[in-house]
Amino acid sequence: MKAILMAAGMGTRIATKTNEPKCLLDIGNGPLIRHTVELLLNNHMEVCICLGFKGYLIREALRDYPITFYENPFYRVTNSIASLWFSREQLDETQDLLLANADVFWQQDILDLLLADDHKILLLADSSRRLSGDYFFHCENGILTDYGKDMPEAERTSEYVGIARIQKQEIACFRKQLELLVHEGDCQLWWENTLYSMIPQKQIPVQDIAGHYWSEIDVLQDYENILDYVHRHPQCL
């Protein structure tokens, strides 16, 4: 299995804490992205990382790991769909694919859920965080029907985690959709918009991981919550 981590963003909402990529924040035993890379490598995955903002710092932090790096030279004026585009050679049909945002703290229990599910395409979300979060889903019977940052509370069923899995038989369709969106010229989209844009033609299943700890670092409080969790659960590192 192959994993692609998105790590090109500038993290402007947490800029008061650090002038480095968010994924380099120390979570107790080193940077967050090292924790994620070790999780993936320990599960026998090939790891690729899309870089942008101060990517040289991420390269240095991971210099001892077998990783393939890609650069998004336009990270200041594009979003993660462009980063995925620069790593598109990895979108082949020989292996299943895991996609994740590098500023998410997660652990083996969530990876186990992701790998055990047999849907061809799968997104992760948390129904326990539908009232407070950053990006929301509306699902019907486990199928994604709507999504957005400003979704009214009454329509939310979960918060999106930032992780997806695509089985190899769907990779060609996914890559074709990515190429279509990029050629249309809207490089302000997230990589997830490639999946969202497939909804009219395909069902996109969503796995609810409520009860499992995870956190995306959007603001300083998110980082502090991770540090508190790690302090109380040192065995997670």
For residue 227, give its domain range.
2-236
| Domain total in the chain | 1
CA distance 1 to 77: 31
The kind and range of the H/E element at 53 are none
Residue 11 reports pLDDT greater than 90: no
Q: What percent of the chain has pLDDT over 90?
A: 89
Which tokens go with 37? 């890379």
Question: Model confidence over 207-223: pLDDT tens digits?
Answer: 999 999 999 998 889 99
Mean pLDDT (whole number) for 27-51? 97
Any idea what the CATH number is for the domain that residue 187 is in? Answer: 3.90.550.10
Question: Model confidence over 155-204: pLDDT tens digits?
Answer: 999 999 999 999 999 999 999 999 999 999 989 999 999 999 999 889 99
Which tokens go with 103? 């500023």
